[in-house]
Structure 1
Amino acid sequence: MPTEERKKSKVELIKEASDGLRGSIAAELADSSTDHVQDATTKLLKFHGTYQQDDRDLRKSRRKEGLGKAYSFMVRNRIPGGKMTAAQFLGELDIADELGNGTIRITTRQSIQLHGVVKNNLWDVIHRINAMKLSTQSACGDVTRNVCCCPAPLRHDGLRDQLQQLADEIADHVRPRTGAYHEIWIKDPETGRREQVVGAPDDSEHDPIYGEAYLPRKFKIALALCSDNCIDVYDNDLGLLGVTEGDTLIGFNVLVGGGMGTTPSKKQCFPALAKRLAFVQTQHLRAVITAVIMVQRDLGNRADRSQARLKYTIADMGLPAFKTKVEQYLDQAESICGMPRGTVPRPLPDPHPDDVTGHDDHMGWHEQGDGKWFLGLPIENGRVKDEGDLRLKTALRELFRHHVSNCRLTAQQNLLLCDIAPEQRPTIKSILADHGVVTVEQISNARRFSFACPALPTCGLAVTESERALPGVIDDLEAELNDLGLSAEQFSIRMTGCPNGCARPYNADVGLVGRSMDGKTGEGRYTVFLGGNLRGNQMAAIYKDQVPRSEIAVTLRPVFLRFKQERAAGESFGDFCDRIGVEELSRPCEVAD
């Protein structure tokens, strides 16, 4: 192994010295003389589900007043498959009102984030989340993040219920075994009493999957069906694509090495879709997952965090060599999973021919197949709040208190209200209308299939606006699409405030990635990507760079015109752009307007 590969980044040293992710977290939380924690502690807190941030809108004014940054914390839940009870959703709203900034945000990984939590309230927030039988453990950090899967409660064939059960089992299997989380957040700091909550720690802290230093970087797992890739399975480090025969789930195509983050200034960095590794029967899935994680644990780059995701390990090794290494780790993995040695076939079978064919965002009213209904409710950029005539938070409080027993969060930052009796539908429609909450029939397709990351003012990585900018960009795009008679087209529009790609812009039909901020006007400039699709199995390419926010719609109009005139029958916007190519689309072209 080259010398440079044996080096370790600063974060690796912090993890190794952390005593099982404990570090000085408890001591710094108990120190009321400061409103923030030290850098090493911020790195460890991510494993516990929270990021230290500051309000960047206030930086300049506070500097003028001789004040430091306005620190607060973002707290992220881990909610496998996005499943929540009404009581849990109401509890999140209560925490946001009492200890946060009054809003909650549904994430692109089927979770909930709370913002504006000050340090003195951090313990209470995480403790209360656990008291609701939820958790924040491993929602962030160099471990397996929230396990995603199709959230739709479609029970006519049982397939999605099987995915949800597998998501729960996988999430429990890959949970870190350290007792630090429970010691810090669950035990009462005065009495030492441990409350009974989900996921109590093992007696032993030995972690056979993660070891002492955990993974080189974050690791994402998701499950999907070929007919409905609503969770962007190809974007994950480990994608599990269900293969079916009729109503029977026969196994999974294992996809490895997806990831949207990149650093444009580093040529060796890139976003990537996962590669098809093998077909695995469902009963062998846990062992193969374990082997893949352990290969990344041992061979991933621990010197350069910008090169530490699984996609780079595979790019360096090549897929055949990576597959061979996974097979070599199967003995250990089977032992960890309690399977007899040799249970999983070697070599691993080639992938099944089946692949992604469709996408469904599950918006609107749907029969579940068990006599009940669910309602897919669009939540613009996932932000649950009351603002002006839109009283979404109040409406959801009313619904979850009296009419809806549970919900699911989607990977598009939307909400599914589930298990609704047919006779309840008129009441629910009335409550939503009375509170100014729009349903999918009342919004454009451009808005329906769009979402953004939070970006400014809280994200420390953001270089432009995203959540606060996208609604205005959609306004402009709606006008162009309406003028061209294209408002019925379905295609994804995703915006991020930096190249890290949290809103998955690199496989969207239209991806808008924050590039720079005009120092005089404060207007953001974006790289425009074209050529992904709703199916999520196609990468976009750069169409134009440094496009001012106010010019995004105008910049895209010529492409929309060509799409209208030159598309093939049934061709989507992203597929058209991919077929024509961004170089051809960038050339001046005579089109009739």
Structure 2
Amino acid sequence: MTDSKQNQGPLIVEGKLADNERLKRESNFLRGTIKDDLTDPMTGGFTADNFQLIRFHGMYQQDDRDIRAERTKQKLEPLHNVMLRARLPGGIITPEQWLAVDKFAQEKTMYGSIRITTRQTFQFHGVLKPNIKLMHQTLNDIGIDSIATAGDVNRNVLCTTNPVESELHQEAYEWAKKISEHLLPKTKAYAEIWLDGEKIAGGEQKDEQQEEPILGNNYLPRKFKTTVVIPPQNDVDVHANDLNFVAIAENGKLVGFNVLVGGGLAMTHGDKSTYPRRADDFGFVPLANTLDVAASVVTVQRDWGNRVNRKNAKTKYTLDRVGIDTFKAEVERRAGVVFEESRPYEFTDRGDRIGWVDGIDGKYHLTLFIENGRLLDYPGKPLKTGVAEIAKIHKGDFRMTSNQNLIIAGVAPEDKATIENIAREHGLMDDGVSNQRKNSMACVAFPTCPLAMAEAERYLPGLIDEVDSILAKHGIADESIILRVTGCPNGCGRAMLAELGLVGKGPGKYNMHLGGNVAGTRVPKMYKENLGEQDILTEIDSLVARWVAERESSEAFGDFVIRAGIVKEVKVSKRDFHD
């Protein structure tokens, strides 16, 4: 932990504001001229500020980078399309909603797929401009929106899925929804542009909004991420997020939260002022103070966050600049609370329990492993169709996990065999999937992400084939390493909380980081830079050989590489990560 007793820098960073601040200020509360761009036949994309503003509405403009060069030769603009990320606090969706999402993906997107994301929701990829408004209206008709799932706002609120302890999960999930609603932008821009001014499903139409009481009229300095987590599962990776509410229960009932602030994983290659960082534990608050504390953390970051340099604009940098105690005291002042001593808790795992588990309510829950979260009908494995067939008969709900898997929750005993049969027939259940594959993850990267420097989603399956072979070669085929791949250093695949993280540097080149832990409470450190794919396998082979030969008892890989001195432990990111 940093020395929180000392104010380490000014509360406000002075200087020329980043251009995004102008963009937000001039946007008329996120409206811009998006409506005009929608009807412009001269381009398939969004122009000028609107390219950024649509992010606040849950979309990113992308193009198919696999065909970009060919289209340039043909003197055509890139094949512009958008990716939409839905807002689903806690990742829960009904079978009826799922079928509507499935239908739109099949009929109105370029790729026909649904992707379950590390933000515990789904994404549409490849939506062309003529279908964008229809997409939002389709979602609104089934009670879903994409407000504030991107941009400088609080994004989709995550919640531990925990299908076993159903009553505690339901309480935590309700708080995730409340936090999400409390921190949403209040502007009516979304309804005006995409729903022709109709009220958003489940919401009340208000008079024209001319201020944002929590987010501020210039919104936040940078993206902001929030979770609700139920120990001992850390499936939401709390240390990847700005604000986390750790559920504290007594006699099976939720009584309050420990509040963790200042986590984040994004960094910039070659810029040592950027680094991944763990969140700090501010202490315990009773349930009644939850929303006030959430708003106060957001408003302190709103007012003190760096609006000059976006690379240092996240909450983690604000904490390190002003000091933890200073930040915490201001949250207490604004919320009118005093944090109590943190209640004891422990994280022991963060993976999903693949397969069937019994709930305390007499129902069953089936977690399906979805590699990279990509639901599509592959030859011999019609995954997307299989989930739709389950949705047609399932009486419970679906829960998307932060590990990109899907839980068929609340299955009655009499429906269990039928649902398993459908899952197996469509390749959704495969007893041969290795533990290593279950504990690996990647971001989207190529061909759609404009930030990608290297492959990730398309690279991972073959990489795991090789890693499985290495583990088998050394006699530990049933064991695994938490392994994650990202196509760039922005952190979407959470490689900076992996035991072995690969971060894209260029085509076929990755930086290798080692030393995260199973619980997800430690940041890994750079081991080697700019490795090619064969070099990566050679390094993994050598490291696994040492791990097997030298480890103590059942010592995990990430713990071993630190004890053996292969990398130093990152205790304080600002000091240790680049050291």
Asked if these proteins are the same fold (TM beyond 0.5), I'd say yes
User: Distance between the aligned counterparts of 1:240 and 1:490, measured in 2?
Assistant: 29
User: Distance between the aligned counterparts of 1:142 and 1:69, measured in 2?
Assistant: 26
- Checking the alignment, whether the CA contact within 8 Å between 2:263 and 2:279 is kept in structure 1 is yes
How many angstroms does 1:550 deviate by? 3.2
What's the secondary structure of 1:181's corresponding residue?
A: helix
How many angstroms does 1:245 deviate by? 3.2
Q: Corresponding residue for 2:44?
A: 35
Q: Scaled by the length of structure 1, what TM-score is found?
A: 0.91
Q: Scaled by the length of structure 2, what TM-score is found?
A: 0.93
User: Distance between the aligned counterparts of 2:424 and 2:217, measured in 1?
Assistant: 53
Give CA deviations for 1:19-55 in whole Å, capped at 9, x if unaligned: 1100101111122232111130011100000011111
Give CA deviations for 1:79-117 in whole Å, capped at 9, x if unaligned: 000000011111111111111120010000101110110
- Checking the alignment, whether the CA contact within 8 Å between 2:516 and 2:523 is kept in structure 1 is yes
User: Distance between the aligned counterparts of 2:286 and 2:18, measured in 1?
Assistant: 38
1:88-99 residue pairs with structure 2 within 5 A?
88-99=97-108
**Closer, same or farther: CA 497–167 of 1 in aligned 2, 3 Å:** same
1:124-163 residue pairs with structure 2 within 5 A?
124-155=134-165, 158-163=167-172
**Closer, same or farther: CA 584–5 of 1 in aligned 2, 3 Å:** closer
Could you tell me which amino acid in structure 2 is paired with residue 427 of structure 1?
A: T
1:320 is aligned to 2:325: yes
1:568 is aligned to 2:552: yes
1:403 is aligned to 2:417: no
- In the alignment of these two chains, the number of paired residues is 558
User: Distance between the aligned counterparts of 2:388 and 2:343, measured in 1?
Assistant: 45
User: Distance between the aligned counterparts of 1:281 and 1:4, measured in 2?
Assistant: 33
1:487 is aligned to 2:477: yes
What's the secondary structure of 2:49's corresponding residue?
A: helix
User: Distance between the aligned counterparts of 1:195 and 1:292, measured in 2?
Assistant: 29
How many angstroms does 1:204 deviate by? 5.2
1:233 is aligned to 2:233: no
1:66-145 residue pairs with structure 2 within 5 A?
66-100=75-109, 101-145=111-155
1:227-306 residue pairs with structure 2 within 5 A?
227-306=232-311
- Checking the alignment, whether the CA contact within 8 Å between 2:116 and 2:400 is kept in structure 1 is yes
**Closer, same or farther: CA 297–3 of 1 in aligned 2, 3 Å:** closer
User: Distance between the aligned counterparts of 1:359 and 1:98, measured in 2?
Assistant: 35
1:528 is aligned to 2:512: yes
- Checking the alignment, whether the CA contact within 8 Å between 1:182 and 1:200 is kept in structure 2 is no
- Checking the alignment, whether the CA contact within 8 Å between 1:178 and 1:201 is kept in structure 2 is no
What's the secondary structure of 1:115's corresponding residue?
A: strand
User: Unaligned regions of 5+ residues in structure 2, if any?
Assistant: 1-9, 570-579
How many angstroms does 1:246 deviate by? 3.8
**Closer, same or farther: CA 309–20 of 1 in aligned 2, 3 Å:** same
- Checking the alignment, whether the CA contact within 8 Å between 1:365 and 1:374 is kept in structure 2 is yes
Give CA deviations for 1:147-190 in whole Å, capped at 9, x if unaligned: 0011133246x221111011011111111100111111112xxx
**Closer, same or farther: CA 65–311 of 1 in aligned 2, 3 Å:** same
Give CA deviations for 1:313-359 in whole Å, capped at 9, x if unaligned: 011011111112212322xxxxxxxxxxx5x3x3x223234342333
Q: Corresponding residue for 1:446?
A: 436
Q: Corresponding residue for 1:474?
A: 464
1:144-223 residue pairs with structure 2 within 5 A?
144-155=154-165, 158-187=167-196, 194=198, 197-203=201-207, 205=209, 206-223=211-228
Among candidates 406, 414, 421, match of residue 423 of structure 1: 414
User: Distance between the aligned counterparts of 1:82 and 1:2, measured in 2?
Assistant: 36
Could you tell me which amino acid in structure 2 is paired with residue 177 of structure 1?
A: K
- Checking the alignment, whether the CA contact within 8 Å between 2:160 and 2:229 is kept in structure 1 is yes
User: Distance between the aligned counterparts of 2:83 and 2:152, measured in 1?
Assistant: 17
**Closer, same or farther: CA 48–566 of 1 in aligned 2, 3 Å:** same
Among candidates 354, 363, 386, match of residue 354 of structure 2: 363
**Closer, same or farther: CA 287–3 of 1 in aligned 2, 3 Å:** closer
User: Distance between the aligned counterparts of 2:248 and 2:555, measured in 1?
Assistant: 26
- The alignment yields a C-alpha RMSD, in angstroms, of 1.8
Q: Corresponding residue for 1:547?
A: 531
**Closer, same or farther: CA 511–266 of 1 in aligned 2, 3 Å:** same
